[in-house]
Amino acid sequence: MSGTDGASTATAGAGTVDRLRAELRDGDAGLVALVMAGIYVLFTIFAVLGPSQGVGGVVAVLQRVTFWTALYAMLVLALNLHWGYAGLFNIGVAGFMAVGVYTFAAITAPTGGNPPGLGLPLWVGVVGGMAMAAVAGAVISLPALRLRADYLAIVTVAFSEIVRLSLLSTTFQQFTLFANVPFLPEVPLGSGAGRGINIPINPTIPVKSLFYTNPTNPASGSRTALGEAVISAFGAVGVRETVVVSLAYTAVLLAFVALFYWLLRRIGNSPFGRVLKAIREDELVANSLGKDTRLFKVKVFMVGCALMGLGGILWETQKGFTDPTSTTFLPIQTFYIFIALMIGGAGSNTGSVLGGALFASLLFLGPQQVAGIFTKYFVGGDAPSTFAAALGPVGSLDFGPLFAYTVQNVPSLRFVLVGVVLIVLMQRRPTGLLGHRKEVAASVDLAKRGGRPGGEGARPAADGGGLDDGDEPTDERADRSDRGESDE
């Protein structure tokens, strides 16, 4: 019996390995792996040519690329649930991120802090931040989803700015929740206004606890046995200690990207997801088929906003501090996320991941790496501080100051590069790299049921089963039975 069980386990394991190989070779996982391999090769060249030194410099550059890729991939996947699946034009992503981050901060910040918080555990803050972002999405969706297209976009971006400006207001710098309510305790809270708010308990703490005995303040404690072994091993090849810890946190972010991808894939293949796609294509038709499209849109808006809140928590709180002036909460961040979705292709989860990777690497980090290379080899001395000062020596055919000024401002020219990319996409590939991919409408691929009559394999039966060559369909057997004929 044990031998049979072992053989079954081995067969199942071999089948799993074969499926993984097929997915890597022919499926979306292989496509993502191929694109990321190309990005890593390119940035390895950038690191070798740039100011980074040795293996440690290369690892630091690749860690940074992976970190930003994971962050953008998560938020692009969340936006794809709104725009790609349901056709909801939400450009208030930064606002829902801010709601999640500040709710998390208020729940986990110490009670004696400035501003004070509730001092609750990390996981409570994560759940609370996601729940509050979902509630904010529901509140906005109830009146806003009666609007369409550009009008919905105006409402969501207005909400995003209202949240950001409210967090900047001194009115909410420190306040008392449930003040003057006799049957509820007074709870002091605050946003810190322009001074921001400290977040000592943040998602990096569980990661740091693998390496340090005092993860909240590593300098005051010592390394754990695992931390000593890992940090020493990486240090032997020149990788800094901070990069090692960042690599571990980046691995956590990649796990969340996989979780987001799995969740959206499950939603997309479910009856709920098929209704969302019907709403995206023609809401009137979906309504005529008896679907309450408003309820579906409210539900998907809440789920997407909860994921945006979680993405914001993993992004912003890992620094241990946040304030409303952070670029994470500016409208430009929503613009970046939408561009990444447009690059990958709306409606495709794999395209969302690829769009986040290509935007984070080539458009966000790439210009900085190129500027570092040009500065190292071609620019000597200080660059002019103004364009007029750089343009003046051109009259005497001295192009050095203009070149140095241009190289110095290459990172700022990413906006020009983004504009060029958008123009090329609209002309050559308006649906994005993987937009409008063919999808199987049924939950089971009917093409795998068997061959056609007269062909190889079993014929499909009316109930979805297979028929052998000598079998008759069920309805034909019923007709013969009604006529009193025998099967023999």
Tokens of 352: 């969302």
Q: Are 414 and 363 in contact (CB under 8 A)?
A: yes
pLDDT (average), residues 335-357: 93
Query: Mind listing the pLDDT tens digit for each residue in 356-405?
Result: 999 999 999 998 888 888 777 777 667 777 777 777 777 777 777 777 77
- Per-domain residue ranges of the chain: 67-331
Report the amino acid identity of residue 358. L
Supply φ then ψ for residue 189, to 5 degrees: -140, 180
% of the chain residues with pLDDT over 90: 48
- Helix (H) or strand (E) holding 176, with range, is strand 175-177
In one-letter notation, the amino acid at residue 70 is A
Q: What's the pLDDT at 452? A: 52
pLDDT 10s digits, 91-121: 999 999 999 999 999 999 998 888 889 999 9
pLDDT of residue 460: 47
**Average of pLDDT values for 338-344?**
93
Position 184 pLDDT exceeds 70: yes
Question: Is pLDDT of 294 > 50?
Answer: yes
225 near 211, Cβ under 8 Å? no
Q: What pLDDT, on the 0 to 100 scale, is given for residue 144?
A: 67
Name the pLDDT band for 462 (thresholds 50, 70, 90): very low
Q: Quote the pLDDT of residue 17.
A: 64
Burial classification of residue 49, based on how many CB atoms lie within 10 Å of its CB (0-12 exposed, 13-18 middle, 19 or more buried) = middle
pLDDT for 3 = 55
Residue 415 structure tokens: 């906006």
Output the pTM of the full model. 0.83
Separation of alpha carbons 268 and 271, rounded Å = 8
| CA gyration radius, the chain | 28
- Sorting pLDDT into bands at 50, 70 and 90, what band is 24? low
487 falls in which pLDDT band (50, 70, 90)? very low
Amino acid at 110: P
Per-residue pLDDT tens over the stretch 265-278: 999 999 999 999 99
DSSP H helices, 112-240, are: 122-144, 150-168, 204-208, 225-236
Letter for the amino acid at 462? A
Q: How confident is the model at residue 58 (pLDDT cuts 50, 70, 90)?
A: very high
